[in-house]
Amino acid sequence: VPYVVMHWRAHSTQMNQWARYGADVVGDVIAELGTAVQGALVAGVAPECILVDPGLGFAKEAPHNWALLAGLDRLVAMGYPVLVGASRKRFLGELLADTAGPRPVDRREDATAAISTLAAAAGAWCVRVHDVAATHDAVRVVAAVASAVDAGP
C-alpha cells in the first residue's frame, strides 16, 4: 500500500504561524521530508511504498509554493515518487486575483492544469486535481511535445 509522506508543520488552525523558512525553502522542505521518510522507514514502511508530497499550502505562503514548484526536480532527486496537490489552492486564487479579490475556487482549473503539466514535466509521479479530464488532456499535450522533442527531426 502506498504511504504518502507529506510536508506540513502544524494543523490548519496553526499552520500559517509555521510558514517560516530559511533562504532555501526547497532545501528546508527536503530536509524535513527526509526526516519524516526516515520515521516511516523505522516504523516499517517499505521504501518502495513511500511517496513524498511537498505539501503545497500547508504551512507555506505563496512564494514558498512557487519556489517548491520551481524546485520539483530537487524533490524528485530524493528518489521517491513525488505527489503534487496544487488543485484550486489559495495561492492560485491570489495569483489570479482581480479588483473583486482572489479568483473563486471554481475558476482556478486552468491554473491547476498549468501547474499539473509543469509538475509532470519536472518528473512528478502524480498530481491531485479536481478536474481530472482537463488535467489529463493538458498533461497528454505536454507529453506529446516532449516525445516529439526526444524523437528529434
- Residue 60 bears catalytic tag: no
- For 56-99, write each residue's pLDDT tens digit: 999 999 999 999 999 999 999 999 999 999 999 999 999 999 99
Question: 44's torsion region: left (phi>0), alpha (psi -120 to 50) or beta?
Answer: left
- Candidates 9, 74, 90, 128; catalytic one: 128
Is the model more confident about 29 or about 121? 29
Determine whether 89 is an active site residue: yes
Q: Average the pLDDT over 108-112 and give the result.
A: 94
pLDDT of the residue at 143: 87
> Can you give the C-alpha Rg of the chain in angstroms?
16
Q: pLDDT tens digits, residue range 21-50?
A: 999 999 999 999 999 999 999 999 999 999
| Cell numbers representing residue 76 in the block | 524528485
Residue 18 has pLDDT above 90, yes or no: no
pLDDT for the residue numbered 11: 75
Position 153 pLDDT exceeds 80: no
Q: Which one from 88, 89, 103, 108 is the annotated catalytic residue?
A: 89
pTM of the complete model: 0.90
For residue 41, how many other CB atoms are within 10 A of its CB? Answer: 14
- Greater confidence (98 vs 16) lies with 98
